Amino acid sequence: MEELVDAGLVKAIGISNFNREQTERILNKPGLKHKPANNQIECHPYLTQEKLIKYCQSKGIAVTAYCPLGPPDRPWAKPEDPSLLDDPKIKEIAAKHNKTPAQLLLRFQIQRNVIAIPKSITPQRIVENLKVFDFELTKKEMATILSFNRNWRICAMSMCKTHKEYPSNAEY
């Protein structure tokens, strides 16, 4: 990957689903020329990833949150799975700001300096998802949303759980 950066074929190298230990191994690689620019991880109020985000940001690695809305239309969803977009407290905070739950969830990530990549195919929702820069959540609202953490993964990658490098076996 570093050769691709050196050749100008890519601007930066990113990693995905790396925990602290795996990221540290990369950063401590002898002769490292280009550290990862970004770590893409599952991140939403039910999986806040606070320690991993702080660690990455302290190392100058941006964080991108996938599943920031907890996609309700995922085919493997179980009926008992929690729904972020239907969470009463999320709805209540969103209503205070005259915003949708999705807009609130995106703003939550932005205020943590986390890049959010929501999935949408609906033109109206895509436009709506961009309207998150005209309000700010209070410290109390941010703390409330952070308190929802359950360490619950939407994308558990369960088929890999026994692999020695399975990233979710570590604390962060």
pLDDT confidence of residue 39: 98
Q: Which pTM does this prediction carry?
A: 0.88
pLDDT for the residue numbered 114:
98
Burial 50-64 (b: 16+ CB within 10 A, else e): eebbebbeeeebbbb
pLDDT the model gives residue 165: 73
Per-residue pLDDT of the chain (172 residues; tens, 9 = 90+): 899 999 999 999 999 999 999 999 999 999 999 999 999 999 999 999 999 999 999 999 999 999 999 876 777 777 788 889 999 999 999 999 999 999 999 999 999 999 999 988 899 999 999 999 999 999 999 999 999 999 888 876 666 667 777 666 677 8
Confidence at residue 7, expressed as pLDDT on a 0 to 100 scale: 96
